[in-house]
């Protein structure tokens, strides 16, 4: 099954990449590696999905937010590869920042929302190295921010 067949089966429609909110670009390529800037969690209406895990957000809500971030990352990756996700050879690394209370310890479970979707969409090529950090706050109060590195053909 192609990447696009998998997206269709999952009922996922990719949006165009967001416009950078500050002095950066959404992606940069060097050699065969594409580096995607951090994408923050958003609600279906485009507003920021804000809140702290362990206070306003549950782990399941955070996991859903991370999955939504993954959809946005895939949309940006599609733009980075000239519109052809079949050029993605491997998702190499994911770094996840989870806005959370000091005693919250399930950042890794929140990040699974992103990692699991990448695996569903890209199969073995979606298996990646990763880091998940708890942070005091994120831009615009977002509950999750994730960046990604991919190898492309």
Q: What is the mean pLDDT of residues 49-58?
A: 98
pLDDT mean across residues, the chain: 97
Q: What is the mean pLDDT of residues 123-150?
A: 98
Q: Confidence band (pLDDT; 50, 70, 90) for 1?
A: confident
Output the DSSP codes for 114-146.
HHHHHHHHHGGGG--EEEEEEES--GGGBSEEE
| From 12-21, 42-51, 80-89, 122-131, the region with the lowest mean pLDDT | 12-21
Which CA distances in Å does 63 have to 37, 47, 59, 74, 75? 20, 17, 6, 17, 19
């Amino acid at each position: 099954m192609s990447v696009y067949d998998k997206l269709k089966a999952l009922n996922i429609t990719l949006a165009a990449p967001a416009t950078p909110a500050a002095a950066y670009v959404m992606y940069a390529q060097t050699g065969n590696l594409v580096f995607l800037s951090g994408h923050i969690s958003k609600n279906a209406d485009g507003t920021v999905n804000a809140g702290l895990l362990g206070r306003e957000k549950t782990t399941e809500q955070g996991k859903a937010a991370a999955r939504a971030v993954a959809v946005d990352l895939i949309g940006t990756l599609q733009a980075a590869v000239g519109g052809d996700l079949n050029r993605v050879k491997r998702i190499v690394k994911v770094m996840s920042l989870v806005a959370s209370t000091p005693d919250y310890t399930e950042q890794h479970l929140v990040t699974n929302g992103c990692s699991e979707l990448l695996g569903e969409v890209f199969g073995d090529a979606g298996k990646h190295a990763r880091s998940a950090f708890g942070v005091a706050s994120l831009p615009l109060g977002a509950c999750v921010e994730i960046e990604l590195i991919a190898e492309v053909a």
